Amino acid sequence: MNRPEVDHESAAETPDLAALASLLADRTRAAICIALLDGGAWSAGELAEYAAVAPSTTTEHLNLLVAGGLLAEERQGRRRYVRLAGPDTAEALENLAGLAPYRQVPVRSLAEANHRRALHHARTCYDHIAGALGVAIAETMTERGLLVRDYGPALTRAGASWLGDLGIPDAGPSAAHRAHVRTCLDWTVRRQHLSGAVGAALCRHALDQKWITKAPTTRIITVTEIGRAAFRRHLGLAEDVLTPSLTLLPPRA
């Protein structure tokens, strides 16, 4: 607080929304960002193959995304690993994706169809659970009075103690209502799933307890036998959201 002048009379600062949006305005770069929503670090080569462009092209895209602050990079020998810059970035991307229009993409192989089906069923969304499973969790929690959404999502007192019973430490050190709950529009089903700190804690717990497993460089979640039992016992989830092949949630409910 040393100088009374707010600014030199010649220039001022504005957030450059267009510059940021330009980074996402390209199909390939957008695909890269969405791939990185799995929360993991990918190498440049992996991303090149995933996005189906030449390595040189990938380099240029990664340069832009890193310079723009969307991605963080880490070099290990001749490898260049990138990941999303942070949870803020992931959340903004998710929000944006929820607003985005849909686009038809061709499905070439049976393998690709299976992959899509698995993604549709259960996947990670940065640090929480998405897909039909994630939506079912959020909706069942709401039905059971663990979660309310009237004016925005929050755990109820019952929800907080339910979390405690599972062995998930509640977010805040003192008050139960402090938990950071958010919902996030699921782009495969167009319904809300649970995100925020509580969503992340739940996902972490499920991984720790081996309810679910996830291979690296993919967002696909597999529900284990232990997990099926746990989700049935703790939430009464139906069989069809616990088994990939049976999953069928209608979009735009």
Partner DNA sequence: CGAATCATTCGGCGCTCACCGAAGTGTGAT
Partner DNA sequence: ATCACACTTCGGTGAGCGCCGAATGATTCG
The residues in 226-245 that bind a second copy, with binding defined as CB under 8 A, are none
The answer to whether 46 contacts a second copy (rule: CB under 8 A) is no
Residue 205 engages a second copy in binding (rule: CB under 8 A): no
Question: What angle do helix axes 110-121 and 131-143 make, rounded to 10 degrees?
Answer: 20
Task: List binders of DNA among 22-41 (CB under 7 A).
Answer: 22, 25-28
Residue 178 interacts, among DNA, a second copy, none and using kind-specific CB cut-offs from 5 to 8 Å, with a second copy
Question: Do residues 132 and 249 touch, judged by C-beta distance below 8 A?
Answer: yes
- Contact with a second copy (CB under 8 A) among 53, 66, 92, 207: 92
Residues 17, 52, 111, 253: which binds a second copy (CB under 8 A)? 17
Residue 16 engages DNA in binding (rule: CB under 7 A): no
Residue 62 contacts DNA per CB under 7 A: yes
Counting contacts by CB under 7 A, is residue 103 touching DNA?
no
Residue 74 sits in the site that holds DNA (CB under 7 A): no
Tokens (6 digits) for 54 = 């030449």
In this structure, are residues 240 and 140 in contact, taking their beta carbons and an 8 Å threshold?
Answer: no
Binding segment (CB under 8 A) for a second copy, from list 10-18, 41-49, 136-144, 230-238:
10-18
Asked if residue 25 binds a second copy (CB under 8 A), the reply is yes
Residue 212's alpha-carbon distances to 51, 133, 207, 224, 245, in angstroms, are 27, 11, 5, 5, 16
Site for a second copy in 108-167 (CB under 8 A): 110, 113, 116-117, 120, 148, 150-154, 156-157
23 contact partners, CB below 8 Å, separation of at least 6: 29, 64, 65, 68, 70
Stretch that binds DNA, among 73-81, 129-137, 166-174, 219-227 (CB under 7 A): 73-81
Residue with token string 């717990």: 205
Of 135, 238, 109, which Cα lies nearest the Cα of 188? 135
**DSSP reduced 3-state for 80:** strand
Helices (H), 144-245: 157-166, 196-208, 225-235
What's the burial of 224, exposed, middle or buried (CB within 10 Å: 0-12/13-18/19+)? Answer: middle
One residue of 78, 108, 233, 252 binding DNA per CB under 7 A: 78
Q: How far is CA 231 from CA 161, 170, 237, in A?
A: 17, 19, 6
Site for DNA in 41-60 (CB under 7 A): 43-45, 48, 52-60
Among a second copy, DNA, none, partner that 158 touches (CB below 5 to 8 angstroms by kind) = none
Residues binding DNA (CB under 7 A): 22, 25-28, 43-45, 48, 52-64, 76-80
